[in-house]
Amino acid sequence: MLSLIQREVVENKKWASDEEVLDYYAVAQCTPGVIAVNTATFIGYKTKGVLGAIAGTFGVVLPSLIIISIIAAVLQNFMEYSIVGHILAGIRVAVAVLIINAVVTMGKKAIADKLCAVIAVVSFIVSVIFPKVSPIFIVLSAAFVGLVTMKKGGEGK
């Protein structure tokens, strides 16, 4: 979803810049809910106000809800077949690759200097070594480091 959102919102529709979308992802990560839904809500609000936020949210949630409901109803009848397990394993691998692609694409745009690179590496290490640490804590800590270094260095970038 992240790479799809970036392509549609930034490149195709030009509703937001790369930097704005990265900010939406950061805020969406800190708020309850799925990043795609939260980002759609933010972008909908930015473009068309409250009605846009509602439309954006339903536009992301409704198709997935319908498709997943249909797949779940049908898939239960075929779970006993080993080929279905192999298909799902292949889908998991493809999804992992898409997530890595989104991370690399966003990372190229988000990591602007050495400080950003250090924050990214430390955030990754903390999330891997301490999986129970809340992403909110990681994001707020990174924001604090950015704020402190901005004040020490003047206005920042």
Q: Flag whether 120 is in a domain.
A: no
**What pLDDT is stored for residue 155 in this prediction?**
53
Residue whose structure tokens are 């990372």: 107
Q: Flag whether 95 is in a domain.
A: no
Checking if the pLDDT of 156 tops 50, the result is no
For the chain, helix, strand, coil in percent to 5 are 80, 0, 20
Q: Flag whether 10 is in a domain.
A: yes
> Residue 126 corresponds to which amino acid?
V
pLDDT above 70 coverage of the chain, percent: 93
Virtual torsion, Cα 100, 101, 104, 106, nearest 10 deg? -110
Checking if the pLDDT of 139 tops 50, the result is yes
Cβ(133)–Cβ(141) below 8 Å: no
Q: Flag whether 37 is in a domain.
A: yes
**What pLDDT is stored for residue 62 in this prediction?**
92
Q: Flag whether 129 is in a domain.
A: no
Q: Quote the domain boundaries for residue 73.
A: 2-84
Q: Flag whether 45 is in a domain.
A: yes
Residue 9 DSSP symbol: I
pTM higher than 0.75 for the full model?
A: no
Q: Flag whether 31 is in a domain.
A: yes
pLDDT digits (tens, 9 = 90+) for 26-43: 777 766 677 888 888 889
Cβ(135)–Cβ(127) below 8 Å: yes
Q: Flag whether 36 is in a domain.
A: yes
Spatial distance between the Cα atoms of 139 and 151, rounded to a whole number of angstroms: 18
Cβ(105)–Cβ(3) below 8 Å: yes
> Residue 14 corresponds to which amino acid?
K
Q: How confident is the model at residue 157 (pLDDT cuts 50, 70, 90)?
A: very low
Rg (CA), the chain: 19
**What pLDDT is stored for residue 2 in this prediction?**
74
Cβ(139)–Cβ(29) below 8 Å: yes
Give 18's contacts (C-beta < 8 A, 6+ positions apart).
6, 10, 109
The number of folded domains in the chain is 1
pLDDT digits (tens, 9 = 90+) for 42-101: 899 999 999 999 999 999 889 988 998 988 888 778 878 889 889 989 999 999 998 888
